[in-house]
């Protein structure tokens, strides 16, 4: 007997091989021209069977064998180990052959000698399409079904399949592209192996030069990036800690206002902070002019370079550290602090010996986030960098600049990646195995410790001016879109908004004539499309991490965590290197943007899922399982309804993050798919700041509306659910 | 539903990495019986129960339910139902939806689902509560919903993991009687986990005492109390004074025992002549204010009046003893001398 999921996947595999176009279509995934334009008779549109029969693509034939193998299991016992072996063999064999022929034969012909006998003169093929992808999925599920029969995930086919899916996707869209960078760094731009060229590029003076130390000349971009990242990490962590302490451990009155700061980084498009800083502190900036007049100095370009970037990044990323540290500071159990105080420690000693050490993982996390964000940041160095080169912008210019040097981009990416991984590794080392969990889940009453007075004053002195500055910057952004030319001509105008977002009455109704509409709609569409798989994949991963146990869970966890640490710049470069040739030929499509968003933003879903799911008692799942529901039904009927707020949050945040993404996107956009951020980048490069700022303001409003709507819905749902407690004391004994 | 089923463990082991939670245990639960897994915290009771449910898979050994080898079957494929310690009621479903859940996901026709769910709620005395949310019920009511949700499926085996631990002391006694009544009415094979020996004695047909991942002893409540197989069981089930004794001779399964000046004849229970261990229940010790034949003299160290009975700590030639005496009318003052005899029941040799 074949169980139902297996039968379904087998049928899907066969249907894909017999009916669906095997290769990627030029007309897009959702075009159906292949049905009418030749279908099986067309070399480009035919399903696998007809590719073999009519179009001489014989190398696809062995796949049929592997698809047929599971049929032998019909009539065998369901959970038999023999059946398991058979399925693993069919799936692994099929997947292996699929990859072998996919990499061995591409649009230029056959490159693998082994396959030559199967390929007639001039045989070529394109990237995988609907048919090939579905067949690959079917093979994947054969493997997981087979492994489940051997006890993977306690024999649960849904869990085993989910693990397989997440592993395969992370491998295909994170690890494969990153490995492609490594291999392309070792080649010259014609594709031949050139290890010496690699070493040459790796030890290039532009990367590692130290001229700035000895006086005269610039330092290499690697040193610049590293110094900047460490400084940004430190400054954002310290500021974030100050904010978190003020909000949680003092009687400060405007706490709610401070808390709203935490949404800022989520809704801030790239460049805006950099632009606002130029508008305030640039050569013709308001503050610079004012101070110059006051002191009779020459207005300088002091803000360009390290100070400016550091300033902008600290403004941009402090709220991230704040968000992380609020959770951590709140998580320090008051009873620990009370215990310390009953043991004769005064407030200051308690803070330094108990509270602060318990916050260690949060501090490390906040630093790591600031460090990585700074390394990957592309917008601020671009507008404020001056002659201070950093890796992220260097990579960009290596790809899009006049020099077009793919190998150099890859080498720079490797340097950047190794910095990130080193930080990641150091963080893991520093935290070690010690447990910092202090929230027990049991009612934990007790009052959080108030800050010692000296520390409290220090926090106020830091936090209040910084919050004010942040507020000024954001007001500036809104204001900047309404003036002719900031710094020179402050006449109020709607010119920029009209240019970008005008709508005129045409012959056939409204015409979206503004210059920004095209990229605006594309952005909304792609962000919305990618939100769904992002949330789904993120929550599925969270569910596997929190609720399931399987042999290689630690490795699985580490792999998914590691992929979160990879900067967007790397994802961007690696995607164009990995996905512009078969078997996965995606560059220039909208899909590659969607995929990059999904894998860049998955951590949001994972984090939301883990946080909520850890609060759901595990015995709820188990109760459902003992009541005959399989794990798929359990997820659908028990977990998902209880996770609804987390799902909504994951959807909205991934939508919003996709709207502001730039570091990976900038490499992946194409003429058909221009995104808002890349359009803004173009305006910034042209010095058209007014338009850029106007566009950013609109994006900010759209994102604020999305988040506000979500919070309203989530809040409403909770209120509606909170039924009055009927359990009275009388019933307690019945 | 295939009628009450038996549950058989054959050398079942469960390891969590290095930890051996259950170490090669074997036992059998007769169809329709209620068997309790009893033991101190951490001895492996919950793990054993979860292996019956299929929530954990055994690392080694065989598990057979109703004649079917289920060792490798996942939880969904086993016909068992479980009442969780935390009840695990789905908070987003009403009481009726909770009870109907197992039937709904098994695709039982709607009308039948409703009828059976109603009947199950009636059975536990909660008819009319179907429209409420679990959060609108008291602890005891939630517990009964959890039971209804499990029995509505008419499972082969019903499992309880410390079902009373979230209830207050008074309610506990009542709910345990309700559970026992319901189990006997439905005749479902039931495995019940608890660390409370009184609870176990009250509800069980048979008790399996576990200690440190292995079975210490298995038997009826009476066997465990009267014939403990080890020092651990004697101490864990009821209180016992464990004293050193000496077996003079063994004849026809009867041992001549000497302990601190007292001579006794007891079932030998496999012991041979030589040093031995004697378990004496506190109620089996009689204290008399006056000397009498075959009595040994003891000294009362401490006397506590507890309303229904007296508790004494006495210093005897056998060592310090703990005594429960129902004669509250003529208490023996602390510091006085008394004479002690042993009742025929409640004294037993404990195999080494
Ligand atoms: N999932 C698990 N991982 C590791 N060790 C476990 C796990 N579950 C139980 N144990 C260990 O197995 C032993 C028995 O646990 P358990 O069956 O819960 O005991 P009991 O229910 O008798 O108190 C304990 O030492 C416990 O720490
Ligand atoms: Mg337990």
Per-residue pLDDT of B4-53, as tens digits, reads 899 999 999 999 988 999 999 999 999 999 999 999 999 999 999 999 99
Cα–Cα distance, B240 to B230 (Å, whole number): 12
Q: Is the pLDDT of residue A441 over 70?
A: no
Instruction: Report the nearest atom of ligand 1 relative to the CA of A549.
Output: 1
Which of A3, A82, A441, A626 would best serve as a mutation to test chain B binding (most B beta carbons within 10 A)?
Answer: A626
Q: Quick one: pLDDT band at residue A339, thresholds 50, 70, 90? A: low
**B57 with B51: CB under 8 angstroms?**
yes
Contacts of A596 by beta carbon, 8 Å cutoff, 6+ apart: A571, A572, A575, A661, A664, A665, A668
What are the structure tokens assigned to A527, written together?
């962000």
- Provide, as residue numbers in chain A, all residues whose Cβ is less than 8 Å from the Cβ of B140: 732-734
Topology annotation, domain A490-714: MetI-like fold (1.10.3720)
User: Which ligand is in closest contact with the Cα of B86?
Assistant: 2
Q: What was the pLDDT predicted at A83?
A: 81
Q: Is the pLDDT of residue A666 over 80?
A: yes
Q: Under CATH, which number does the domain A219-433+454-487 receive?
A: 1.10.3720.10
- Provide, as residue numbers in chain B, all residues whose Cβ is less than 8 Å from the Cβ of A152: none
Nearest CA distance, B218 vs chain A (angstrom): 27
Q: What was the pLDDT predicted at B91?
A: 82
Instruction: Report the nearest atom of ligand 1 relative to the CA of B47.
Output: 17
Tell me the pLDDT tens digit for each residue of A361-408: 788 888 888 888 898 888 889 888 888 889 888 888 888 777 777 788
- Provide, as residue numbers in chain A, all residues whose Cβ is less than 8 Å from the Cβ of B91: 642
Q: What was the pLDDT predicted at A256?
A: 77
Cα–Cα distance, B321 to B340 (Å, whole number): 11
Contacts of A287 by beta carbon, 8 Å cutoff, 6+ apart: A280, A281
Please tell me which residue of chain A has the smallest CA distance to B173.
Answer: A733
Least confident segment among A26-30, A151-155, B235-239:
A26-30
DSSP string, A275-300: HHHHHHHSTT-HHHHHHHHHHTPPP-
Please tell me which residue of chain A has the smallest CA distance to B58.
Answer: A154
Q: Is the pLDDT of residue A436 over 70?
A: no
What ranges in A627-664 are assigned the alpha helix state H? 631-634, 640-642, 644-660
**Mean pLDDT in chain A?**
80
- Using only the alpha carbons of chain A, give its radius of gyration: 28
- Provide, as residue numbers in chain B, all residues whose Cβ is less than 8 Å from the Cβ of A733: 138, 140, 170-171
Structural domain boundaries in chain A: 4-150, 219-433+454-487, 490-714
Region A518-528 average pLDDT: 90
- Provide, as residue numbers in chain A, all residues whose Cβ is less than 8 Å from the Cβ of B74: 154-156
B98-101, Cβ contacts within 8 angstroms, sequence gap of 24 or more = B98/B134, B98/B145, B98/B149, B99/B130, B99/B145, B99/B148, B99/B149, B99/B152, B100/B152, B101/A624, B101/A627, B101/A629, B101/A637, B101/B149
Region A287-291 average pLDDT: 79
Q: What was the pLDDT predicted at A447?
A: 60
Cα–Cα distance, B128 to A381 (Å, whole number): 68
Q: Quick one: pLDDT band at residue A79, thresholds 50, 70, 90? A: low
Residue with tokens 């008779």: A41
Tell me the pLDDT tens digit for each residue of A617-659: 788 888 998 888 888 899 888 888 888 877 887 888 788 888 8
Instruction: Report the nearest atom of ligand 1 relative to the CA of B22.
Output: 14
Please tell me which residue of chain A has the smallest CA distance to B150.
Answer: A627
Identify the H or E element spanning A115: none
- How many contacts (CB atoms, under 8 Å) link A and B? 101
Q: Is the pLDDT of residue A20 over 70?
A: yes
Where in chain B do CATH 2.40.50.140 domains reside? 239-350
What are the structure tokens assigned to A377, written together?
């940041």
Cα–Cα distance, A498 to B228 (Å, whole number): 92
Please tell me which residue of chain B has the smallest CA distance to A617.
Answer: B88
B interface toward A at CB cutoff 8 Å?
Answer: 53-55, 57, 72-76, 80-82, 84-86, 88-92, 101-102, 105-106, 132-133, 135-141, 149-150, 153, 159, 170-171
Cα–Cα distance, A506 to A512 (Å, whole number): 9
Q: Quick one: pLDDT band at residue A341, thresholds 50, 70, 90? A: low
Written in H, E and C, the secondary structure of A28-65 is CCCCCHHHHCCHHHCCCCCCHHHHHHHCCCHHHHHHHH
User: Which ligand is in closest contact with the Cα of B42?
Assistant: 1
What are the structure tokens assigned to B221, written together?
């409540």
Q: What was the pLDDT predicted at A216?
A: 67
If you take atom 6 of ligand 1, which residue's CA is the nearest one? B16
Cα–Cα distance, A508 to B56 (Å, whole number): 67
Q: Is the pLDDT of residue A726 over 60?
A: no
Q: What was the pLDDT predicted at B41?
A: 92
Maximum average pLDDT range among A261-275, A475-489, B163-177 = B163-177
* Burial category of A727 from C-beta neighbours within 10 Å (exposed 0-12, middle 13-18, buried 19 and up): middle
Which of B56, B128, B138 would best serve as a mutation to test chain A binding (most A beta carbons within 10 A)?
Answer: B138
Nearest of A98, A97, A121, A101 to residue A111 by alpha carbon: A101
Maximum average pLDDT range among A116-125, A346-355, A516-525, A559-568 = A516-525
Q: What was the pLDDT predicted at A373?
A: 84
**A643 with A539: CB under 8 angstroms?**
yes
Where in chain B do CATH 3.40.50.300 domains reside? 7-230
Nearest CA distance, B127 vs chain A (angstrom): 14
Q: What was the pLDDT predicted at A571?
A: 86
Taking phi over 0 as left and psi of -120 to 50 as alpha, with beta for the rest, A377 belongs to: beta
* Dihedral angle computed from the Cα positions of residues A720, A721, A725 and A726, in that order, rounded to the nearest 10 degrees: 90
Residue with tokens 């590691």: A562
Nearest CB among B73, B74, B153 relative to A627 is that of B153
DSSP string, B78-122: S-EEEE-TT----TTS-HHHHHHHHHHHTT--HHHHHHHHHHHHH
Contact B90 A623 (CB under 8 A): yes
- Provide, as residue numbers in chain B, all residues whose Cβ is less than 8 Å from the Cβ of A732: 138-140
Nearest CA distance, A623 vs chain B (angstrom): 6
Contact A733 B171 (CB under 8 A): yes
Mutate to test the pocket of ligand 1, among B17, B22, B44 (most ligand atoms within 8 A of CB): B44
Three-state secondary structure call for residue B314: strand
Q: Quick one: pLDDT band at residue A35, thresholds 50, 70, 90? A: confident
DSSP annotation of B247 reads: E
**Mean pLDDT in chain B?**
90
Rounded to the nearest 10 degrees, the angle between the axes of helix A568-578 and helix A360-376 is 50
Three-state secondary structure call for residue A723: coil
Peptide bond before A583: cis, by omega within 30 degrees of 0?
yes
Which of A628, A642, A730 would best serve as a mutation to test chain B binding (most B beta carbons within 10 A)?
Answer: A628
What are the angstrom distances between the C-alpha of A137 and each of A79, A127, A133? 22, 16, 6
Q: What was the pLDDT predicted at A721?
A: 37
Q: What was the pLDDT predicted at A439?
A: 39
Nearest CB among B74, B92, B101 relative to A156 is that of B74
Contact A637 B105 (CB under 8 A): yes
- Provide, as residue numbers in chain B, all residues whose Cβ is less than 8 Å from the Cβ of A726: 132, 136-137
Contact A734 B102 (CB under 8 A): no
Q: Based on DSSP, count helices (H) and strands (E) in chain A, helices before strands.
A: 38, 6
What are the structure tokens assigned to A440, written together?
């027990």
Nearest CB among B75, B139, B159 relative to A625 is that of B75
Cα–Cα distance, A331 to A132 (Å, whole number): 49
**A496 with A489: CB under 8 angstroms?**
no
A interface toward B at CB cutoff 8 Å?
Answer: 79, 151, 154-156, 617, 619-620, 622-631, 633, 637-638, 641-642, 723-727, 731-734
Q: Which residues line ligand 1 (CB under 6 A)?
A: B 16, 19, 21, 39, 41-47
Residue with tokens 């318990």: A358
Nearest CA distance, A599 vs chain B (angstrom): 32
What are the angstrom distances between the C-alpha of B272 and each of B90, B267, B347, B349? 58, 11, 17, 11
Nearest CA distance, B146 vs chain A (angstrom): 9
Contact B92 A617 (CB under 8 A): no
Cα–Cα distance, B21 to B39 (Å, whole number): 13
Instruction: Report the nearest atom of ligand 1 relative to the CA of B161.
Output: 21
Cα–Cα distance, B130 to A283 (Å, whole number): 73
Maximum average pLDDT range among A177-181, A183-187, A496-500, B277-281 = B277-281
Cα–Cα distance, A55 to A39 (Å, whole number): 12
Does the domain formed by B7-230 have CATH 3.30.950.10?
A: no
What is the distance in A from the centroid of ligand 1 to the CA of A642?
28
B239-350: CATH, from 3.40.190.10, 2.60.40.10, 3.20.20.70, 2.40.50.140: 2.40.50.140
Contact A727 B74 (CB under 8 A): no
What are the structure tokens assigned to A77, written together?
């016992």
Least confident segment among A236-250, A503-517, A697-711:
A503-517
Contacts of B45 by beta carbon, 8 Å cutoff, 6+ apart: B37, B38, B39, B193, B194, B195, B210
What are the angstrom distances between the C-alpha of B275 and each of A510, B104, B245, B269, B284? 105, 63, 6, 14, 22
A274 against A717, higher pLDDT: A274
Nearest CB among B57, B132, B150 relative to A154 is that of B57
Residue with tokens 């407690």: A725
User: Which ligand is in closest contact with the Cα of B47?
Assistant: 1
What is the distance in A from the centroid of ligand 2 to the CA of B43?
8
A191 against A86, higher pLDDT: A86
What are the structure tokens assigned to A686, written together?
């042209």
If you take atom 12 of ligand 1, which residue's CA is the nearest one? B21
Q: Is the pLDDT of residue A206 over 70?
A: yes
- Provide, as residue numbers in chain A, all residues whose Cβ is less than 8 Å from the Cβ of B105: 624, 627-629, 633, 637
Measured from the Cβ of residue B336, the count of other Cβ atoms closer than 10 Å reads 13
Cα–Cα distance, B134 to B313 (Å, whole number): 49
Q: What was the pLDDT predicted at A732?
A: 33
What ranges in B133-265 are assigned the alpha helix state H? 139-151, 169-186, 197-203, 221-226, 231-236
Q: Is the pLDDT of residue A345 over 80?
A: no
Q: What was the pLDDT predicted at A78?
A: 57
The answer, yes or no, to whether ipTM is higher than 0.85 is no
Percent of chain A with pLDDT over 90: 10
Please tell me which residue of chain A has the smallest CA distance to B90.
Answer: A620
* Dihedral angle computed from the Cα positions of residues A214, A218, A219 and A225, in that order, rounded to the nearest 10 degrees: 140
Cα–Cα distance, B189 to B219 (Å, whole number): 16
* Dihedral angle computed from the Cα positions of residues A60, A61, A67 and A68, in that order, rounded to the nearest 10 degrees: 180
If you take atom 25 of ligand 1, which residue's CA is the nearest one? B42
Residues of chain B with pLDDT under 50: 1
A265 against B139, higher pLDDT: B139
Q: What was the pLDDT predicted at A344?
A: 67
Q: Quick one: pLDDT band at residue A77, thresholds 50, 70, 90? A: low
Q: Please, what is the Cα angle at A179 between A177 and A182, to 5 degrees?
A: 120
Beta B34-38 vs B189-194: how paired, if at all? Answer: parallel
Percent of chain A with pLDDT over 70: 88
Q: What was the pLDDT predicted at B65?
A: 94
Q: Do domains A219-433+454-487 and A490-714 have the same CATH topology?
A: yes
- Provide, as residue numbers in chain B, all residues whose Cβ is less than 8 Å from the Cβ of A734: 138, 140-141
Q: Is the pLDDT of residue A147 over 50?
A: yes
Contacts of A14 by beta carbon, 8 Å cutoff, 6+ apart: A67
Q: What was the pLDDT predicted at A477?
A: 81
Residue with tokens 């245990």: B25
User: Which ligand is in closest contact with the Cα of B48?
Assistant: 1
Q: Is the pLDDT of residue A203 over 70?
A: yes
* Burial category of A209 from C-beta neighbours within 10 Å (exposed 0-12, middle 13-18, buried 19 and up): middle
């Amino acid at each position: 007997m074949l169980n139902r999921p297996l039968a379904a996947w087998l049928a899907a595999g066969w249907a894909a091989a017999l009916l669906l176009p095997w290769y990627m279509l030029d007309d897009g995934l959702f075009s159906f021209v292949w049905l009418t334009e030749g279908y099986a008779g067309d070399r480009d549109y035919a399903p696998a069977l007809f590719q073999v029969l009519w179009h001489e693509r014989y190398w696809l034939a062995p796949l049929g064998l592997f698809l047929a193998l599971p049929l032998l299991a019909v009539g065998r016992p369901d959970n038999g180990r023999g059946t398991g072996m058979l399925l693993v063999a069919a799936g692994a064999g099929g997947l292996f052959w699929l990859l072998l022929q996919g990499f061995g034969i591409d649009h230029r012909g056959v490159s693998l000698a082994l396959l030559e006998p199967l390929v007639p003169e001039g045989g070529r093929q394109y990237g995988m399409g609907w048919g090939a992808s579905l067949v690959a999925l079917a093979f994947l599920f054969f493997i997981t079904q087979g492994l489940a029969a051997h006890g993977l995930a306690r024999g649960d086919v849904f869990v085993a399949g989910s693990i397989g899916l997440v592993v395969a996707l992370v491998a295909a869209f994170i690890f494969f592209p990153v490995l492609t960078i490594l291999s392309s760094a070792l080649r010259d731009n014609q594709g031949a192996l050139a290890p010496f060229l690699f070493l040459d590029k790796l030890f290039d003076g532009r990367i590692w030069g130290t001229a700035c130390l000895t006086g005269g000349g610039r330092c290499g971009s690697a040193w610049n990036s590293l110094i900047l990242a460490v400084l940004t990490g430190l400054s954002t962590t310290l500021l974030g800690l100050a904010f978190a302490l003020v909000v949680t451990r003092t009687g400060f009155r405007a706490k709610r206002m401070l808390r709203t700061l935490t949404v800022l980084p989520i809704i801030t498009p790239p460049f805006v902070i950099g632009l606002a800083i130029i508008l305030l502190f640039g050569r013709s900036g308001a503050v610079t002019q004012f101070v110059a007049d006051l002191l009779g100095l020459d207005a300088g370009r002091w803000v360009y370079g390290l100070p400016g970037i550091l300033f902008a990044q600290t403004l941009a990323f402090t709220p991230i550290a704040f968000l992380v540290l609020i959770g951590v500071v709140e998580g320090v159990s008051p009873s620990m602090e009370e215990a310390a105080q009953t043991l004769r420690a005064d407030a200051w000693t308690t803070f330094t010996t108990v509270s602060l050490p318990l916050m260690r993982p949060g501090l490390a996390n906040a630093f790591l986030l600031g460090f990585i964000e700074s390394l990957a940041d592309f917008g601020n160095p671009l507008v404020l960098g001056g002659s201070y080169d950093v890796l992220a912008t260097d990579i960009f210019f290596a790809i899009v600049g006049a020099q077009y040097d793919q190998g150099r981009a890859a080498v720079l990416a490797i340097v950047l990646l190794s910095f990130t991984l080193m930080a990641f590794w150091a963080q893991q080392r520093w935290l070690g195995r010690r447990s910092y969990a202090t929230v027990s889940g049991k009612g934990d009453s007790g009052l959080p410790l108030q800050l010692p007075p000296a520390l409290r004053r220090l926090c106020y002195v830091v936090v209040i001016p910084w919050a004010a500055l942040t507020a000024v910057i954001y007001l500036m952004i809104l204001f900047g879109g309404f003036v002719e030319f900031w710094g020179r001509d402050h006449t109020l105008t709607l010119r920029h908004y009209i240019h970008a977002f005008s709508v005129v009455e045409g012959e056939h109704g409204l015409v979206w004539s503004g210059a920004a509409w095209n990229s605006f709609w594309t952005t909304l569409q792609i962000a919305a499309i990618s939100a769904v798989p992002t949330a789904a994949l993120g929550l599925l991963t969270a569910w596997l991490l929190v609720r399931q146990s399987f042999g290689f869970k630690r490795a699985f966890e580490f792999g998914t965590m590691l992929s979160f640490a990879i900067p967007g710049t790397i994802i961007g470069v690696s995607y164009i290197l990995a996905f512009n040739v078969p078997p996965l030929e995606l560059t220039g499509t909208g899909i590659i943007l969607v995929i990059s968003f999904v894998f860049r933003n998955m951590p949001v879903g994972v984090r939301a899922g883990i946080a909520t799911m850890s609060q759901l008692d595990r015995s709820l799942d188990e109760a459902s399982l003992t009541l005959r529901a399989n794990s798929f039904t359990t997820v659908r009927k028990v977990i998902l309804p209880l996770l609804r707020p987390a799902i909504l949050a994951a959807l909205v945040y991934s939508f919003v993050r996709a709207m502001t993404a730039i570091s990976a996107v900038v490499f992946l956009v194409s003429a058909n798919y221009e995104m808002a951020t890349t359009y803004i980048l173009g305006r910034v490069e042209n010095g058209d700041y007014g338009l850029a700022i106007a566009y950013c303001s609109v994006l900010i409003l759209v994102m604020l509306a999305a988040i506000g709507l979500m919070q309203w819905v989530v809040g409403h749902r909770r209120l509606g659910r909170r039924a009055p407690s009927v359990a009275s004391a009388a019933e307690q004994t019945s | 539903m295939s009628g009450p089923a038996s549950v058989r463990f054959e050398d079942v082991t469960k390891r969590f990495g290095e930890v051996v939670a259950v170490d090669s245990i074997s036992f059998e639960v007769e169809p329709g019986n209620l068997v309790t897994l009893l033991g101190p915290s951490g001895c492996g009771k919950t793990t054993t129960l979860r292996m019956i449910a299929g929530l954990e898979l055994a690392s080694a050994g065989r598990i057979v339910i109703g004649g079917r080898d289920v060792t490798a079957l996942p939880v969904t494929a086993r016909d068992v139902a479980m009442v969780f310690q935390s009840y695990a009621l789905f908070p987003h479903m009403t009481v009726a939806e909770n009870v109907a859940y197992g039937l709904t996901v098994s695709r039982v026709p709607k009308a039948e689902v409703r009828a059976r769910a109603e009947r199950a709620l009636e059975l536990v005395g909660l008819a009319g509560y179907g429209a409420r949310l679990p959060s609108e019920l008291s602890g005891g009511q939630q517990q009964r919903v959890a039971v209804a949700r499990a029995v509505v499926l008419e499972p082969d085996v019903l499992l309880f993991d410390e079902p009373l631990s979230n209830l207050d002391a008074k309610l506990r006694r009542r709910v345990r009687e309700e559970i026992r009544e319901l189990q006997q009415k439905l005749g479902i094979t039931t495995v019940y986990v608890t660390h409370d020996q009184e609870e176990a004695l009250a509800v069980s047909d048979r008790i399996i005492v576990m200690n440190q991942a292995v079975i210490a002893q298995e038997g009826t409540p009476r066997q465990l109390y009267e014939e403990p197989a080890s020092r651990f069981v004697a101490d864990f089930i009821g209180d016992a004074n464990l004293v050193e004794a000496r077996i003079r001779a063994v004849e026809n399964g009867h041992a001549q025992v000497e302990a601190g000046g007292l001579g006794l004849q007891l079932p030998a229970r496999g012991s041979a002549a030589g040093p031995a261990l004697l378990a004496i229940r506190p109620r089996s010790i009689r204290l008399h204010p006056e000397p009498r034949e075959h009595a040994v003299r003891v000294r009362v160290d401490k006397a506590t009046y507890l309303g229904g009975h007296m508790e004494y700590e006495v210093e005897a030639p056998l060592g310090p003893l703990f005594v429960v005496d129902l004669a509250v009318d003529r208490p023996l003052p602390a510091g006085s001398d008394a004479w002690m005899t042993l009742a025929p029941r409640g004294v037993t040799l404990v195999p080494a």
